[in-house]
Amino acid sequence: MATSDGYGYRSGAGQRVIRPVPVDASTADITIHDAITSTGYTAGYFGTCTGNGDRVIGFATGSVLSPAADGDSNVMVDFSSSSLYEFPLESGTVTNALIGKTCDIAASGRALDVTTPADNSLMITDINTDRNTCYVRLRDIVNAPAA
């Protein structure tokens, strides 16, 4: 299922690890397939990635409005390292040389930064030259919160 911009979840091997996480009141509204982080938020709460260097811990599988207070809402997050997501580059053109490289979510939260990644939390596994997009997965296995 893709968002209105056409990007997002594409496939995955095995069962996806999806868990609810509490949303920080200062985050923007979260939409399906947004990259989720704890960087810059109150300890124990999560929100959307807003800049290069925000460590991606997963991708939203649903939407939620920004809550009035920390933890007033939860969002379901895909923590699966085998799930593939498709996003465009923030700038530039995709090439086969990107396959196997690491990258970050760009400041827009809906594109990839391959030129100046800060934490390299995503791995590029394939490209689509027709759409100028990359297929990415979480680079390392993140321990999802207990169910």
Choose among 60, 81, 57, 73: nearest CA to 23: 73
DSSP 89-143: BSSS---GGGTT-EEEE-TTSSSEE-SS-SS--EEEEEEETTTTEEEEEESS---
Residue by residue, pLDDT tens for the chain (147 residues) are 445 568 888 887 778 889 999 999 999 999 999 999 998 899 999 999 987 778 899 999 999 999 999 999 999 999 988 899 999 999 889 999 999 999 998 877 789 998 888 888 899 999 999 999 999 999 865 444 444
Q: How far is CA 89 from the centre of its chain?
A: 14
Local structure of 86: helix, strand or coil: strand
Residues 6 or more apart from 43 whose CB is under 8 A from it? Answer: none
Q: What is the domain partition of the chain in residue ranges?
A: 84-138
pTM of the predicted structure, to 2 decimals = 0.87
